[in-house]
Structure 1
Amino acid sequence: MFRLKHLAVFVAFLFVGIGFSQPFVYQGFLRDNGSPATGNYSVTFRLFAVESGGSPIGTVGPVATSLSNGLFTARLDFGTNAFTGADRWLELEVDSTTLSPRLKIDSVPYAIHSNNTRGLIVDNNLNVGLTSTRKYMGIGTSDTFPYDGKTMGHYALGWFDDTWNPFGATTWLSGYAGIKLFTSGALRVAIAQNGAVGIGTASPVRLLQVGDPTVSSVGLIRVGQNGASTSRAWDFGIGDSALFGHRDNFGFRDVSGSTIMVLQSSGQGGRVGIGTSFPAQSLHTTGNIRTDGGILQSQNSIVLHPDVDLTGDDSVSIANSGGGIWMKFQDSVATIYSSANGIMNVRFATTNIANHGVIEVGDIPGTPKAGVYVADNGNGIVWGNIKSFREPDPNDPETDFWYASLEGPEAALYVRGKGRLVNGQALIELPDHFQTMMLPESITVQLTPAARFSKGLAYEEINGQISVFELNDGRGNYDFSWVVTAVRKGYEDFRVKRKWDEILPLAADREKEWEARLKSIELRDKR
């Protein structure tokens, strides 16, 4: 036994005006012997003008209908004159069984009979239009606001000829508290009541906000230019920082309005500024620069300028992260310090002699204790408290040999060798290089006989050669050793005593240098 429960009648297409077809959707619930019907059934729909008896105005079916858990849906069309405004009843026949009572069709589908249904006009092509008195669809017809000389509902969709475009109607959409757009069941765009637009967020806190800062997502805006020969597009993340740009510059500012970075166009120099809106060089930063790699320059050299006007009156410092060894460049002087206390360890500079350089190594107070410099005569000079050579011990790899150089009040050189007396005479031939470098009148000769019976040795200079003979007309035959020393040619005026600041670097602070010198002497005296 079939038992029908009418669930609803839905308008599928709205037409206004008597004489047009008026299809609508009917949904019902059918029980078969007390249980929800499931399967395929043959259903016939008849429309009557009376509750019982009479002849049908129109018939649809039989229609093969598929039911699932009792539910079924059918689209019904009873002809052009089925709905005239009078009462109508719907009768169903299921598999040759006529169900009763008939269903009276009430206001929802029946409202389609009117030529003017609450201001909505529908033509026979299913186009929806508006009356001439009100040009929007909405709820709360009295809840309106004026705009551009028109009246618009707070909860409405309308079409108006306005001042924006006089050549056609524009679409107006209004939601008093805001508007939300969805796709695939998810919010995509939200317009808040204050006009803020959110893309990907329901709570925009800026005039335009892309993405939700409370979730791990990134909002992007794509700004592009497409042309016949070029196609460019840039994506930019939007957060608390601001994004700005125009034809000359593009960059970022933080929430306080301070410039974080600016990129100039090629017409403005193509420069990059970090922390400044007006970069003066290809890369201009107002803060510190850190690199975990190297700074490479393929051509010429790398120059660090501490000031914009390139006057050299400021300094550049290079330090390690621990505050230990650091280097400072100032006024043609490069100084290496062991810490930030300003004690000099190594200094590269020019001296008070024009275009002459000096390298100095300092002690604890910062007094130079060794160095290399170019004197006023162009000679390179190495100096220190002691001059040594250092060589690993060939018999003990954990030990080094340190030999100190001979010292004296003159710039001297020497040559030495061995000879043999034959009949009490011998000749010493000095090497060409020694003769070239020595001052002839400064020569001294030391002779040492290798025989106990020697009567003693002496020499004479004959035509640049040294003639050796045994004293007392001796005629001995034995070996001897010799050493010849002389002053270097051109260094005969070597000065032993000099002023302490003779080779002071050009930009050195003389007062500080003097204080460091006194401290160094004090430490020496305590040792």
Structure 2
Amino acid sequence: MKRWLVVSAFSALVALSTLVGASAQGVTQSFTYQGYLRQGGAPLNNPSQSMRFRIFATATDTTVLWDSGALTVNVSNGLFTVQLNPPASIWTGADRYLEIQVGSTTLTPRVLIRATPYANTATQLNMFQSGTNNADRMVITHSPAFPNWGLQYQDVGDKFNFVAGSASIMTVDMSMGRVGIGTSTPAHALDVSGDVRWSGVLQGGSVPWARITGAPSFLGGSGTANRIALFTAANTLGDSVIFQSGSNIGIGTTNPTYPLEVSGGMLVNSSTGHLRIGFPSSANQWFFATDGGGANLQLWENAANAIRMYFRAGGNVGIGTTSPIAPLSFASTTGNKISLWGSNASAHYGFGIQANLLQIYTDWNGADIAFGYGSSASFTETMRVKGNGNVGIGTNAPAAKLHVNGTARVNVLEITGADFAEKFPTTDEVQPGMVVEIDPDNPGNLRLARGAYNKRVAGIVAGANGLSKGIVLGNLEGSENHSPIAISGRVWVYADATEHAIVPGDFLTTAERPGYAMKATDLQQAQGAILGKAMTRLEKGQTGFVLVLVNLQ
């Protein structure tokens, strides 16, 4: 049987538990090194792990006494064995330190080597091979001056003995799985010969009966039947406030009707523990209850008895209030009320209250609020409020403040814009306020109006001079970026009054200047080319904006 000394070293990459063995049969320059490697908490498996071993004079010295060079080591289930062959010249009788490198990582701290090949004179550490010719050996001794104090291995019986002056004070019998204190022949898992002093509580076990051998021992005192005993003095027993009646235990009462009944207050106080109530393996449930009808249940905080949650007898629950008026009520204060998701008080999903305002909010302006039916995993959306303020009904990607995918019906529709427009594709580049005509070369398209009294006139590009558009039609797929052309209502138009001044009430038609309007002075020629009536003035010789009431004729 081979015995080893166990040494531990750690690094950021791996944890290494090493077992060093050196023969005690004579001086030799080589020794076997065995160890156990873990990586990421698991045993390492690598049949060709690169390792390197160096020997130094001290734990921090930078001068290498010996370097093994890179070795390829077989590591199986974390275990490895290498034969190290440093020269005999480095063993001078002083301590040496072994440095281990795994791959590119050097483990720290270095391993102290006391059982070196010259250890015939180093009585503090003795390693040996068991066998028929080996007597009991000291594995570790106190010092050369005290050779019979330390740890001894007994080959017969497979025991470790802790000896003091050649006398065994504690024995570990590995063949029987027993420990003896004060005896070298333990007959039980723990066999103590002598006095025992116990401080603390026996955890994870029980001692229903104890048999004391040797001199009589006893505790004095008296008590009442069914009272749990209490040490009233160092060696005296008396009554406690705990009473046992059958299988029921009472604290402060001698007539418990439940397995545990407490008469008085109870404090459960722990910074790390928990009070757990429930049936972990049963369909039945524990419950909190009040004894009398009409009684309320309260959850308090701190010694001031601040009520944090209030369960009213009728079933209503109050959080921060003792007068819940609904199945769930909150304190009458402003601020956050319910947080559905998120750990940041200033950014989360939930509900809040401000003065005359119910708030529904998300954690940032890129998050949306959706309404629908079903469940979270199987949800049919009917309406969405985007983080940017757009509202979609029948669509989850509203492109406007109100985007309805479907039919909308209203009794009265009030629009703040001033015209009625429709989107058309244009072959020319146009700007708001310009007059456009039907493009004869591109069916369905419009272009800048060309020539006076043009009967192909189609309308005016809406949105000029800061006047908002009203109703816009034709927002079909592919037409989103087309220009809205006003065909009715009020718009500003580019006008040319070079020859004739324009006054309110004048009919306007197309001008020679492309995209401009002018006063229609020849009403017979203007038939079919009239844009509408001017609503503002433009003096003769000027060009600029004129407000026009569009009415194509």
Q: Which band: TM-score by shorter chain?
A: under 0.3
Q: Rg larger in 1 or in 2?
A: 1
Which one has more relative contact order, counting CA pairs under 8 Å at least 6 apart?
1
- Structure holding more helix per residue: 1
* TM-score after normalising by structure 1: 0.24
